[in-house]
Amino acid sequence: MARAFLFPGQAAQFVGMGRDLYDTFDTAREVFDLADEVIGGIKTACFDGPEERLKQTATTQPAVFTHSIAAFKILAEKGIRPHFVAGHSVGELAALVAADVMSLEDGLKVVGVRGRAMQAAGEARSGTMAAVLGLDDAAVCALCSAIQPSGRVFPANFNCPGQVVISGEVVALRQAMEEARARGAKRAIELPVGGAFHSELMQPAIDALADVLADVPFAPAQIPVVANVTAEPTQDPDLLKRLLIKQVVSPVRWTASVKRLAAEGADQAVEVGPGNALRGMVRRIDRSLSLWGAATVDEIAETIRSLGEEPYG
């Protein structure tokens, strides 16, 4: 038996996130204060918004990362630790810090660059994303291929059975949404995002991310990290760095990642950070995993009460 920590990605943010952690735990206060030193403005964005600022990619990514690491450190301080980690998109950065692949300060530097670079790429190459509900993965891949003559559209997030996010050029993606409905999708919903994330339209962000990572030392992971790109566990620091860069233009294989965690023996999963979207996905992927959250003081207290006495905690 084993426990996985799952770290959320963009779209998990909300105004007020982390304020209760900051007010209650010295550990969380240290994380948020360091984020303000390294990036600037994180506490204000998280605690007070406004929502429009918090939704900007350059702010969202460091905000979600900071909240996630604050929650992780509180759990670790209370003896609740994982045997595996995985993160959805930018959540993979939090997973790498949790696995001691890189330091928190380096993680903050990287997430700041990643967020700014992806926002700039989205502004330079107009694109968007949409959630396709009710078609399987193969059907969505076929749909994207069929649309290609009209423009570039790609599968971006394989979130769970029947939920795949597509990413691409605006006109072509909207055509893909119509075609998805024609092919039997229950719904196709355009998402309020700042670019075509996890597609080749994000290529301009690669150089900036690679440049900052060139100066960031990666250590062997202390526990296996299941990477988005491969959905395979690894502790190899060089591979983890390459995959982190490749992830920006590659689909997030979340369904396969959760299945791999279960195959490796994980029977518990804790969503560490804001929101509860990952728990919803996991329930649709593999109901054998017991689930907990760690977004708020109350959730963390309940998770500690539930898991604190576990012999393998």
One domain for residues 147 and 286: no
Give the amino acid at 52: E
In a domain, 233, yes or no: yes
In a domain, 266, yes or no: yes
The pLDDT, as a whole number, for residue 126 is 86
One domain for residues 165 and 290: no
- Profile the chain (313 residues) by mean pLDDT over runs of 10 residues: 95 95 98 97 95 94 98 96 98 98 98 97 93 98 94 97 97 97 97 93 96 98 98 98 98 98 97 97 97 97 86 36
One domain for residues 18 and 109: yes
Counting every residue written for the chain, the total comes to 313
In a domain, 313, yes or no: no
In a domain, 184, yes or no: yes
- CATH number, domain at 245? 3.40.366.10
Judged on CB neighbours under 10 Å (0-12, 13-18, 19+), 207 is exposed
Among candidate residues 191, 216, 236, the one where a domain is terminated: 191
- Which segments of 39-136 does DSSP mark as H helices, in order? 42-48, 51-54, 57-77, 91-98, 104-124
One domain for residues 21 and 160: no
One domain for residues 141 and 222: no
Known catalytic residues are 89, 198
Among candidate residues 145, 167, 191, the one where a domain is terminated: 191
Residue 186: which domain range?
126-191
In a domain, 312, yes or no: no
In a domain, 156, yes or no: yes
One domain for residues 160 and 219: no
In a domain, 228, yes or no: yes
One domain for residues 138 and 256: no
- In Å, how far are 157, 174, 217, 257, 259 from 286, measured between CA atoms? 17, 31, 35, 11, 7
Tell me which DSSP letter residue 252 carries: B
Sort residue 137 into left (φ over 0), alpha (ψ -120 to 50) or beta: alpha
One domain for residues 50 and 135: no
In a domain, 117, yes or no: yes
Tokens of 7: 């770290």
pLDDT tens readout for residues 195-232: 999 999 999 999 999 999 999 999 999 999 999 999 99
One domain for residues 301 and 210: yes
The pLDDT, as a whole number, for residue 194 is 87
The pLDDT, as a whole number, for residue 309 is 59
One domain for residues 38 and 107: yes
Tokens of 156: 């971006």
One domain for residues 7 and 58: yes
pLDDT tens readout for residues 132-172: 999 999 999 999 999 988 899 999 999 999 999 999 999 99
- How many domains in the chain? 2
Q: CA 85, CA 98: separation in Å to the nearest integer?
A: 8
One domain for residues 94 and 150: no
100: helix, strand or coil: coil
Among candidate residues 191, 212, 242, the one where a domain is terminated: 191
